Amino acid sequence: MAAKKLLILPGDGIGVEVMAQVRRIIDWMARKRKIEFEITEGLIGGSSYDVHGTPLSDETLAAAMAADAVLLGAVGGPKWDDLPFDVKPERGLLKIRKEMGLFANLRPATVLEALADASTLKNEVVAGLDIMILRELTGGLYFGQPRGIDTLPDGTRKGYNTLVYTTPEIQRIGRVAFDLARKRNKKLCSVDKANVLECTVLWREEMIKLQKEEFPDVELSHMYVDNAAMQLVRNPKQFDVMVTENMFGDILSDCAAMLTGSLGMLPSASLGEADAQGRRKALYEPVHGSAPDIAGKDMANPLATIMSFAMCLRYSFDMAAEADLIENAVKNVLKGGLRTADIMQPGKAKVSTTVMGEAVVRELDKLNA
């Protein structure tokens, strides 16, 4: 088997610390499960701007295009807040998603048993929760043209963005959504704002057509995005797979993250179109950001990024057994009572980023024995 080409982009802030823990897990997989990785590391975001004057260099982008999978930490921080818009750290992230064609963003929100009490919601509302938010990632309001800030003849200014989707864009994200639903509980909820926005009227019509023509075995429902946000905190277990527009998905996935106790627990996978061999370009990153307030203090939660690597093994390398191993190791570490600050609960042991990473490796050893 050819070595798996991994590009690692730690990025900014806590991205660097949490990725250091993922490196331990990768090393463990290489040593103990004899998986051959060819690893390169690169810069993205503010740390790339500091060196290259751009948040995503051509060199990093080329490496991403050539990789079997990209692992990303997080980008951004106050240090770069005053940069011009087009070189802000976030532009690097948006550009790599767009250039790699990663239109399908899988954001699973799973409440691990040991953490059901860490959520701000009542235990019975979130216990056992296992939902998948599928966010369209390369279109919609984030990328629509025209966009900008203009000065009008009278000296006032106008800021604008465009919400736009074409039928092929809706169909390709729709197919991923129905496919995911088919592999789970065959229930898909499409989230839109069809009572106000024409673009999402089209979205709804296309989803209905797709269901009739290609996925009659999947039950399709629709919900307005404001109601969906409310339902996510009222009764999240009514959902299984949700599919939605780029910005709606950005907002709903942060909301779903808190059901699980902390943003520090949520992994994500961003996938492109399958090629003739069935392989997809892919990037894996935690849903959380660079958390500048706690960066460099060895207190960030590395579990979302570690579980993003598990998703990488599952979706890019078809290694379900190894992915399960990582997820089970994480579950056991939490059952054992270790907690980073963000998920700290009374009676548990508060540990650093590093100690959490080491604990996952020790648990992998036990599970693999």
Given the residues 50, 150, 217, 226, the one annotated as active site = 226
CB 251 → ligand IPM: shortest distance, Å?
A: 9
112 CB neighbour count, 10 Å cutoff: 21
99 binds, among Mg ion, ligand IPM, none (CB under 5 to 8 A by kind): none
Which helix H or strand E contains 148, and what residues bound it?
Answer: strand 144-151
167 CB neighbour count, 10 Å cutoff: 13
Catalytic-residue membership of 254:
yes
Bridge partners (DSSP) listed for residue 98? none
For residues 48 and 92, give the distance between their C-alpha atoms in angstroms, rounded to a whole number. Answer: 9
Is residue 90 a contact residue for ligand IPM (CB under 6 A)?
Answer: yes
159 among the known binding-site residues? Answer: no
CB of 60 or CB of 246, closer to Mg ion: 246
Binding flags for ligand IPM, 94-113, as an x/- string (CB under 6 A): x-------------------
The secondary structure of residue 263, as a DSSP letter, is G
DSSP code per residue over 271-300: EEEE-TTS-EEEEEEESS---TTTTTTT-S
55 binds, among Mg ion, ligand IPM, none (CB under 5 to 8 A by kind): none
Bridge partners (DSSP) listed for residue 43? none
CB of 90 or CB of 219, closer to ligand IPM: 90
Catalytic-residue membership of 226:
yes
For residues 8 and 71, give the distance between their C-alpha atoms in angstroms, rounded to a whole number. Answer: 5
114 binds, among Mg ion, ligand IPM, none (CB under 5 to 8 A by kind): none
CB 248 → Mg ion: shortest distance, Å?
A: 11
Is residue 93 a contact residue for ligand IPM (CB under 6 A)?
Answer: yes
Given the residues 49, 142, 165, 315, the one annotated as active site = 142
CB of 94 or CB of 197, closer to ligand IPM: 94
65 binds, among ligand IPM, Mg ion, none (CB under 5 to 8 A by kind): none
Catalytic-residue membership of 250:
yes
For residues 305 and 309, give the distance between their C-alpha atoms in angstroms, rounded to a whole number. Answer: 6
Question: With CB under 5 A as the contact rule, which of the stretches 61-69, 126-134, 199-207, 244-252 interacts with Mg ion?
Answer: 244-252
Respond yes or no on whether the N-terminal peptide bond of residue 89 is cis (omega within 30° of 0). Answer: no
Site for ligand IPM in 276-305 (CB under 6 A): 287, 289
Tell me which residue has its CB nearest to ligand IPM. 90
CB of 48 or CB of 253, closer to Mg ion: 253
For residues 27 and 94, give the distance between their C-alpha atoms in angstroms, rounded to a whole number. Answer: 29
CB of 108 or CB of 289, closer to ligand IPM: 289
Phi, psi of 108, deg, nearest 5: -75, 140
Report whether 4 contacts 69 (CB < 8 A).
Answer: yes
CB of 133 or CB of 299, closer to Mg ion: 133
291 among the known binding-site residues? Answer: yes
Q: Residue with structure tokens 């503010």? A: 46
Provide the b/e sequence for 287-325 (b: ≥16 CB within 10 Å).
bbbbbbebbeebbbbbbbbbbbbbbbbbbbbebeebbeb
Phi, psi of 36, deg, nearest 5: -90, 120
219 binds, among Mg ion, ligand IPM, none (CB under 5 to 8 A by kind): none
309 among the known binding-site residues? Answer: no
318 among the known binding-site residues? Answer: no
292 among the known binding-site residues? Answer: yes
Taking CB under 5 A as the criterion, the residue among 12, 206, 250, 363 binding Mg ion is 250
Is residue 250 a contact residue for ligand IPM (CB under 6 A)?
Answer: yes
Token pair of 263 as six digits: 């943003």
Closest listed residue to residue 138, CA positions, set 24, 264, 271, 32: 271
Strands 267-274 and 280-286: antiparallel
> Which residues participate in the annotated binding site for Mg(2+)?
226, 250, 254
Binding residues vs Mg ion (CB under 5 A): 250
Binding residues vs ligand IPM (CB under 6 A): 76, 90, 93-94, 250, 287, 289
Residues with catalytic function: 142, 193, 226, 250, 254
> Which residues participate in the annotated binding site for NAD(+)?
77-90, 289-301
